[in-house]
Amino acid sequence: MSDNVFIRALKHVKIAMTQWVDSDYHPEGVLALKNKPEQVEWVRTLPFLILHLGCLGVIWTGWSWTAVLTAISLYFIRMFSVTGFFHRYFSHRTFSTSRFTQFIFAVWCGTCVQRGALWWAASHRHHHQHSDDPEDKHSVRQQGFLWAHIGWITCSKNFPTDYSRIKDLSKFPELVYLNRFDLLVPVLFAVSLTGIGSLLHHFAPSLGVTGGQLLVWGFFISTTALFHGTACINSLAHVFGSRRYETDDDSKNSLILSLITLGEGWHNNHHKHMTCVRQGFFWWEVDITYYLLKMMSWTGLIWDLRPVPKSAYTELNLKSTAQTLTTAG
């Protein structure tokens, strides 16, 4: 009996390790995974744990202004790829672009270490269909704050990419390849940062940076912060803030979260009108992602930016009029 348990455990580890490299490898079948209970799969999520533990490397590498500024810059540069491309392009198709530029976006998104663009989009489309109902993958209302923030991404039933939700994207083999081998870009990104840090240490020693230091700050610390900044929209944006529109979910608007995520904090706006490229509907609602996408459209790299529908403002005017009449009455 004990030998059988050991063999099954060994087989489980082998499958999980293979999935680190090939995220579409599911020998037991996708349906079997989806029927598993919601629990953390420690072996499968080991790379995710290593990402967080890698931050402790700062104990040995120390810091320099070059490394810290690199970490901050890469946080915001890649946050733009999360908000502008993972979310507003791949998930909601709020603007158009060429196939080549689409591929560049997918590679850029890969440096964020948040799985492939197709998995991200499929998961997010599922969230909008089931937002805060029992089938939602990351709902504070249904499963608590910690699960909505980080637990759901460690659960085996959420590992497979639901290609049926992204038929508009899965027809591109290059996107499927990047999605299937989603560890490739992060590894190349980490190696590149280490190499750049080593070159700077050799040719510009006055900067005080080393290969290991740039790896820790530019990859581990910056990427971990990026993940939690992104995850705040799944968790905090459904707990704190104000509600402009009546929706079936708990989405809320927050200026603070918008600053952290370059505009994603206007979450209630987004859940009410998810197909528009702009999430800050008024000039005082800071939406840096939209400003950057607008500037990109001037270059011709992207086009057909979907505007905020007139109904978004008409509804508010009607609501305001009704409140005024109620008060007057």
pLDDT in tens, 85-135: 999 999 999 999 999 999 999 999 999 999 999 999 999 999 999 999 999
Query: Tens digit of pLDDT for each residue in 229-250?
Result: 999 999 999 999 999 999 999 9
Measured CA to CA, the distance from residue 168 to residue 165 in angstroms comes to 8
Q: H-helix or E-strand containing 96?
A: strand 96-97
Q: Output the pTM of the full model.
A: 0.93
Domain count, the chain: 1
**What pLDDT score was predicted for residue 3?**
63
**What pLDDT score was predicted for residue 2?**
61
**For the ranges 2-6, 87-91, 271-275, which has the lowest average pLDDT?**
2-6
**What pLDDT score was predicted for residue 266?**
97
**What pLDDT score was predicted for residue 12?**
74
* Straight-line distance from the first to the last Cα atom of the chain, in angstroms, rounded to the nearest whole number: 78
- Is the distance from CB of 277 to CB of 306 less than 8 angstroms? yes
**Structural domain of residue 49, as residue ranges?**
2-328
| pLDDT tops 70 at residue 35 | yes
| pLDDT tops 80 at residue 329 | no
- Is the distance from CB of 158 to CB of 115 less than 8 angstroms? no
